[in-house]
Amino acid sequence: MSHRWGMAVDLDRCTGCGACVIACQAENNVPTVGEQAAQKNRLMHWIRIERYYESEFPNPRVKFRPVLCQQCDNAPCEPVCPTYASYHTSEGLNGQVYNRCIGTRYCGNACPYTVRTFNFFNPVWDKPLQLQLNPDVSVRPVGVMEKCTFCVQRIKASEIQASAENRELREGEPTPACVESCGPRALVFGDLSDPDSEVSRLARSPRGSMLLGELGTKPKITYLPRESSDGQNR
């Protein structure tokens, strides 16, 4: 059965704790760029929590929105890559092949969500932090673009395990690192081609909307905005 991986983010549950950011960084060997690079807008988080205040103290009405690669079906970042480093996989993911990337950064410009990050220098892990690197994920050198892959290494590992055990994938496997770390279970991951999966159910919810959906990128992450106590979506 061919899968179509997607995600649903329930903004009603998101507390903005940032555990997903840390988990992603740990799982995917995302470099920490340091204070100077952070000041120069060179952060490399594959997922970020956008925090918006709607009004002033004492009731600022904070809203959090985790933004990660939307794995668009009509991804604007894919046709512009001259070396096919950014392409669409058969399972609906936007794949990034680090070995093909020559660093034109065209995809970074084309992405309307600006979820793509770039290795401006060779990443450095001060000893002994290099021991924490995940051996399942390659470390990217200077000049290579990277972004959220829906933890494709975990997806592949689950698929291989399932086919070795001669069974289908179960609900809840695979689980990307961000989804696994989310305490309130705001992030839900699963197979959109299975109409009974939780993510498909949430994607069909009347609360659901796509981020920048009007651009026609056909993202595969459905955001469910919070409902306040009076039933309004605010």
Partner 1 sequence: MVKTADEIQRDLLRPVIQTPRRAIPAMVGLALLVLVGFSAWMYQVYTGIGVAGINRPVFWGFYITNFVFWIGISHAGTLISAILRLSNANWRRPITRCAEVITVFALLIGAMFPLIHLGRPWLAFWLAPYPNQRGLWPNYRSPLLWDFFAINTYLIGSLIFLMLPIIPDCALLRDNLSGWRSKFYAVLCLGWRGTQKQWRQLEAAMHIMAILIIPVAVSVHSIVSWDFAMTPVPMWHSTIFAPYFVVGAIFSGIAALIIAMVFLRSSLHLEEYLNAHCFDNLGQLLLVMSLLWLYFIFAERLTTWYGNSKSEIDVLWLTVRGPYRHLFWVMVFCNFVIPFPLLAIKKLRTITGTFLASVMVVIGMWIERYLIIVPSLSRKFLPYAWGTYRPTWVEITITGATFCTMALLYLLFSKLVPVVSVWELKAGLRE
Partner 2 sequence: MNPENGVYVLCSEPGSTERAVSALLSAGMSRSDIVVISSVPLEQYAQSEKVRMPWLVFAGAVLGGIGGFLLASVTQKSYPITTGGMPVVTLWTDGIITYELAMLGAILTTSVVFLLTARLPARNRLPCDPQVSQGKVMVGIASAPDALRNNIIERLKGIGEIRP
Neighbouring C-beta atoms of residue 74, cutoff 10 Å? 12
Q: How far is the CB of 208 from partner 2 (least distance, A)?
A: 21
In the complex, what is the shortest distance from the CB of residue 79 to partner 2, in angstroms, rounded to a whole number?
4
Does 175 engage in binding with partner 1 (CB under 8 A)? no
Q: Provide the minimum distance between the beta carbon of 195 and partner 1 in the complex, in angstroms, as a whole number.
A: 31
Q: What is the DSSP string of 123-153?
A: ----TTGGGGS-TTSPPP-TT-EE---SSHH
114 in contact with partner 1 (CB under 8 A):
yes
Cβ proximity to partner 2, 52 vs 84, nearer residue: 84
Burial of 86 from C-beta contacts in 10 A (0-12 / 13-18 / 19+):
buried
The span of 12-20, 57-65, 67-75, 137-145 binding partner 2 (CB under 8 A) equals 67-75
Q: How far is the CB of 111 from partner 1 (least distance, A)?
A: 9
Q: Residue 181 is which amino acid?
A: S
The answer to whether residue 192 forms part of the interface with partner 2 (CB under 8 A) is no
Under the binding rule (CB under 8 A), the answer on residue 110 touching partner 1 is yes
Tell me the C-alpha distance between 151 and 185, whole Å.
17
CB 217 within 8 A of CB 75: yes
Which residue is it, tokens 């590992």?
157
Nearest CA-CA partner of 117 in 129, 126, 108: 108
Q: Output 121 or 234, the one with its CB closest to partner 1.
A: 121
Q: How far apart are CB 180 and partner 1 at their closest, in Å?
A: 24
42 interacts with, out of partner 2, partner 1, none, CB within 5 to 8 A per kind: partner 1
Q: Does 122 bind partner 1 (CB under 8 A)?
A: yes
Instruction: Determine which residue in the list 42, 63, 65, 88 makes contact with partner 2, applying CB under 8 A.
Output: 88
Amino acid, res. 63: K
Beta bridge partners of 49: 66
What are the tokens at 183?
């305490």
The CA distance from 146 to 97, in Å, is 9
Residues that bind partner 2 (CB under 8 A): 73-79, 81, 84, 86-88, 218
Residues that bind partner 1 (CB under 8 A): 37, 40-43, 48, 50, 52, 67, 76, 79-84, 100-106, 108-110, 112-114, 116-122, 141-145, 211-212, 215, 217
